[in-house]
Amino acid sequence: MRTQAPATTADAVASDNELFKIEQRGIDLIPLEERRGRAADLFWMWMGSNLNVFYPVNGALVIYLGLSFSQGILVILLGNLIFFAVGLTSLQGPKTGTSTFAINRAAYGPNGGRGLSLFNWVTCVGFEASGMALIVLAGLALLGEVGVHPSAWLKILLLVVSMTLQSFLPVLGHRTILTAQRYLAYALIPLFAVMAVVVAGKAHLSSIHHGTGWAMIMVAVALVISAGGLSWANTGSDYSRYLPPDAPPARVFLWSSLGGLLPAVLLEILGAAIASIVSTASDPISGLPKALPGWILAPYLIVAIVTLFAVNTIDLYSSGLTLQAIGLPLRRWQCVVVDMVIATVVAGVTIFNSDFNRLYSDFLGLLIVWLSPWLAIYAADWAIRRGRYEPADLLRARGGIYWRNGGFHIPGIVAQVVGMVASCMWIDSSAFVGPLSSRTSGSDFSFFMGIAFGGLTYLLLARRSVRREVVGITNTARQAVIAEPRIGA
C-alpha cells in the first residue's frame, strides 16, 4: 500500500476552507470529509471572474486588426469555444482532490512537471501584473476627475495600496473566493447591461472596416483564444478540487465552461461595438471610456477597478498553488504574498510604458506557444488513463508510479517540445513571426499547430505505457478491496 508523502510544509492541516478564514491547504490532497459544494458553484465563480474590462478590450482589438463587425462576431464566437477547455481541465479536480499542476505530473513526471509549472507561474504573474497596471491607470483616471494630477509618486502610492487590497481574497482562499465571485457576478451583470445600452445608442457599425482576408482573421482567432479560455484552462482543477468525487462530470464540464464563455462572448461583442466609436485606444482605461457619456465615466472606472481585482484574485490563487507545484517549500498563502510582490514590481514597469495594448498583445501571442501543446498533452493523458489517477503518487517528491525516468516522463517532455516548435512555425506576433506565417500572408495557426503536434506526439509515444500504469492502479485498488475487513467476517 502506498503512503502519501507531505505535499507542502503544512502537514496535517485542519479544515480551513471556510468563509473569511485563511485556507491552509495548498496542493495537498483534500480529504473526503472536506469535499462539498455543487458543480453550479463553478458557474458563478467563472462568471464573476470573466465579467471584466479585459474582454471589451479584446473585442476592440479584433476590430482594430481590420476586421468588419460581422467578421469580428464570427471570430469572437469561434475563438471563445476554447472555454470548453476550462470545463475539460476541471474534470480531474473532483477525482484527485488536488490542483491542475499537481495532476500535471502524471503527464510529465514530478521533475518534468516543474518546468511546465514554471511556465504556468510566469503566465499567471503576467496576467496579475497586467491587471495591477490597469488598476493603477483606472485609479489615476478616477483621481483626475476630481482634479488630482498624476505623478510618478502617485503611481507608486496607488501600486502599494492596490497590492495591499489585492492580497485579501487570494490569501483567504477557496471558499471566500467562490462566495465573493458569486455576489460580484450578481452586481456586475446589470452594470454591464447598462453599459451595453449606452454604447448601442452611439455605435456606428457601418464606419468599421469592410473586412480583411483569412490570414488576419486567423490572427484575430488566435488573440481571442489566448486571451480567453486558453489562459484559464491551466487553472480548472484548482477550483473544482473541493467538489465530491461523485460530482457529475457533465455538470462540472458545462458549468465551468459556460461560466466563462457567456460573459467573454457578450463583452467582446460590446468591445467590437465600442471600436466603431473609438478609432484607437492605447489601453482600456484611457481609450474605451471615450465611447461613454461623461456621467458614466466615474462609475465605469470604479467597475473597472473592482473587476480587475476579481480577475487578479483567480490568477493569484492559482499562481500560489503553481509555486507549490514547482517545489517551493512555502504555505499557500505565503506563495500568494510572494507572487503579489513580484507582480506589483512588473506592473510598476508596465505603467511607465505608453502602449499597454502592444505589450498585452505580445504577451498573449507568446503564451499560446506553450499553452496549446500543454492543453493537448494534459487532455490526451487524461483520456488515455480514462481519468484514473493515483492521487498520493501525484504528490510524492520521489518514487511512485509517476517517477519513471528520474522524475521525468520522456513522452510528455518530447511532445511538449514538438508542440512548441510546431506552434512557433506558424505564429504571427510583433515579437516573433514563424516561417509558415510569413509564407501565408501573416496568418496565425499557432494554437492549432501546438494542439495537433503536441497531442498526437503524446498519443503515439505514451499510449501503451500510460495504459499499463492504469492497469497497475486498477489492480492495486482491487487488492485493497479484497483485503478490506468485512463486517461479520
C-alpha closest to that of 413 among 111, 16, 60, 78: 111
411 domain-assigned: no
Indicate whether 10 pLDDT > 70: no
Sign of CA dihedral 71, 55, 261, 443: positive
CB 232 within 8 A of CB 260: yes
Q: In this structure, is residue 398 part of a structural domain?
A: no
Question: Rounded to a whole number, what is the distance in angstroms from the first to the last CA of the chain?
Answer: 22
C-beta of residue 181 within 8 angstroms of C-beta of residue 49: yes
Lowest mean pLDDT among 145-159, 297-311, 354-368: 354-368
Lowest pLDDT segment from 241-250, 362-371, 470-479: 470-479
pLDDT of residue 9: 40
Mean pLDDT to the nearest integer, 462-483: 72
User: What pLDDT score does 336 carry?
Assistant: 95
- Of 12-16, 17-21, 175-179, 257-261, give the lowest mean pLDDT range: 12-16
CATH of the domain at 212: 1.10.4160.10
Q: What is the mean pLDDT of residues 378-394?
A: 95
Query: Is there a domain that residue 423 lies in?
Result: no
Q: Give the up-direction half-sphere exposure of residue 371: CA atoms within 13 A in the CB hemisphere.
A: 28
114: pLDDT strictly greater than 70? yes
pLDDT (average), residues 362-382: 91
Q: Say yes or no to pLDDT of 23 above 60.
A: yes
Question: For the chain, what is the domain count?
Answer: 1
Residue 381 has pLDDT above 80, yes or no: yes
Residue 259 in any domain: the answer is: yes
Q: How far is CA 162 from CA 49, 159, 311, 345, 373, in A?
A: 18, 5, 14, 12, 34
CA distance 44 to 46: 5
Q: Which residue has the higher pLDDT, 74 or 351?
A: 74
pLDDT of the residue at 280: 64
Q: Is the pLDDT of residue 357 over 70?
A: no
Look at 45-54, 101-110, 358-367 and tell me which has the smallest mean pLDDT: 358-367
Residue 375 lies in a domain: no
347 versus 42: the higher-pLDDT residue is: 42
- The confidence band for 489, taking pLDDT boundaries of 50, 70 and 90, is very low
- Residue 390's pLDDT is 94
Q: Is the pLDDT of residue 5 over 50?
A: no
Percent of residues, the chain, with pLDDT higher than 70: 89
Whether residue 425 lies inside any domain: the answer is no
C-alpha triplet 380, 382, 386: angle, nearest 5°: 115
Residue 428 lies in a domain: no
Nearest by Cα to 124 from 346, 331, 381: 346
pLDDT over threshold 90, residue 163: yes
Give me the percent of the chain exceeding a pLDDT of 90: 62
Examine residue 105 and state whether it is found in any structural domain, yes or no: yes
Position 372 pLDDT exceeds 90: yes
Structure-model confidence comparison of residues 191 and 375, the more confident one:
375
**What pLDDT is recorded for position 147?**
86
Average pLDDT of the segment spanning 342-355:
82
Mean pLDDT rounded to a whole number for the chain:
87
Between residues 486 and 213, which one has the greater pLDDT? Answer: 213
Q: How far apart are CA 462 and CA 382, in angstroms?
A: 12
Owning domain of residue 182: 33-366
Residue 355: per-residue pLDDT:
63
CB–CB of 469/382 below 8 Å?
A: no
pLDDT one-digit tens code per residue, 216-234:
999 899 989 988 899 999 9
pLDDT tens readout for residues 128-143 = 988 898 899 889 988 9
Per-residue model confidence as pLDDT tens digits over 269-314: 998 888 888 766 555 666 666 666 777 778 888 888 999 999 999 9
